[in-house]
Amino acid sequence: MKDLLTDAVQTLRIFLQGLGQLGLFFVNLLIYSPRTLIKRPQLIIRQVYNSGAMSMTIILTCGLFVGMVLGLQGFDTLQRFGAEEALGTFAALSLVKELGPVLTALLFAGRAGTALASEIGLMRATDQLAAMEMMAVDPIRRVVIPRFLGGVISMPLLTAIFNMVAIFGAFLVGVAFMGVDEGAFWSQMYANVAVADINQGIIKSVVFGIVVSLLAVFEGYNSVPTAEGVGRATTRTVVISAIVVLILDYMLTAALIG
Amino acid sequence: MKQTRAVEVGTGLFVLLGFGALFFLITQTTGLNQEIGTKGYKITARFENVGDLKIRAPVTISGVTIGRVTDISFDADRLNAIVKMTIAPQYDQLPDDSEAAILTAGLIGGQYIGLTPGGSDTHLENGSEVEFTQSAVVLENLIGKFLSGVGSK
């Protein structure tokens, strides 16, 4: 009984310590981010390429098929109420407000988050970070911040691309395969999607971008410098990102909808 | 150097596509006619019952959207609802004896205000009130009337 209690306290202490480290790490990043943004834009462009441009394949493919399945499912459900004309609204609203930001964040964690975590983790394991410190180069500013900012910049753009492709996918299935009227598809969408809905999606994607990028660089930077440690950091990035993104999604929706 | 250039071009392409998609979402999926209702003159109308009418519901004449509902409130003195509407400035020649009715778009569609033009020579202008109104049809009342009608036969 006493052992169990000590174990629980120990676990709680480790959890709180991790949370504290993450918070301090985030503050540290925020303090140095503006300076990097102005003085070393070249480094950030490189990371936007790595995180954003390199994620295009997965985003385009997944976006198209998510949109197509939405078109199929939406059509099947809506036609029971004789409302298949509302397919455009249904697809656009569910994508822009919910599926777009969340799925992009999960895919982003899987494609770019893991790459960031393992890259930084390997730098730690092969003592590259220590070598930089020896040369009086701050690895936070040189390595971590460009990767963090690259991810933060890429996420909203990837979400927008995902949404656009997915709406096209829904259009393809709904209008071309299932025979929903093309005019009704678009005009119902025009009438029912407001700029506020788009903004809600953008806010979500920015928050998710910060969360996923932060977790990835944090896990990589604090990984145990062994092969196993790097592997574990990569796994933790995906798992924790997925959990946090889905929890935050509910909170953000509740806050933005009210 | 060559590789850096490829990276830059790739990044540029990605950023361009991203902002292009954002632009597409904002202009192509949301109604462009949303500027109707932000500018123009304001008129009011009193209804016994506004039903399910919502703020931003369209105001139409002959089926064409010419404005939007901007405010719905209850007047405690005269015990009816006041609906404020903004009509686009190019439609400033509506007769002041026009009739406003709360209608429903389709079976499960939202409610909107339909104006039927009258024959007067004077026009509605900023601040004027539409005098002839027709309340929303509340389905429950209709069913109630129908049932009591059936019962009395």
Residues in chain A: 258
The residue with greater pLDDT, B127 or A159, is: A159
Q: Is B29 on the interface with A (CB under 8 A)?
A: yes
Cβ <8 Å between A189 and B25: no
* Interacting residues of A237 by C-beta distance below 8 A, sequence separation 6+: A109, A113, A114, A116, A117, A215, A216, A219, A220
pTM as predicted? 0.75
CA distance B13 to B149: 69
Name the closest residue on chain B to residue A187, using Cα atoms. Answer: B31
User: Min CA distance, B121 vs chain A (Å)?
Assistant: 34
With beta carbons under 8 A apart, name residues in chain A contacting B31.
190-191, 193-194
- Secondary structure in 3-state letters for A50-84: HHCHHHHHHHHHHHHHHHHHHHHHHHHHHHHHCCH
Would you say residue B121 has pLDDT above 60?
yes
Name the closest residue on chain B to residue A199, using Cα atoms. Answer: B26
Beta pairing partners, B81: B47, B74
Cβ <8 Å between A49 and B10: yes
Say if residues B55 and B143 touch (Cβ distance below 8 Å). no
Structure token digits, residue A232:
């574990």
Q: Which of B21, B30, B33 sits opposite A164 (nearest CB)?
A: B21
Pick from A195, A205, A206 the residue to mutate for testing the B interface (most B CBs within 10 Å).
Answer: A195
With beta carbons under 8 A apart, name residues in chain A contacting B13.
53
With beta carbons under 8 A apart, name residues in chain B contacting A156.
18, 22
Would you say residue A258 has pLDDT above 70?
no
CA distance A104 to A249: 12
User: Min CA distance, B96 vs chain A (Å)?
Assistant: 29
pLDDT, tens digit (0-9, with 9 covering 90-100), for B28-75: 777 655 555 567 888 999 988 888 787 778 888 888 888 888 888 998
* Interacting residues of A147 by C-beta distance below 8 A, sequence separation 6+: A47, A50, A51, A116, A119, A120, A213, A216, A217
A-B C-beta contacts closer than 8 Å? 81
pLDDT, tens digit (0-9, with 9 covering 90-100), for A112-166: 999 999 999 999 999 998 899 899 888 888 889 999 999 999 999 999 999 999 9
Structure token digits, residue A15:
């959890």
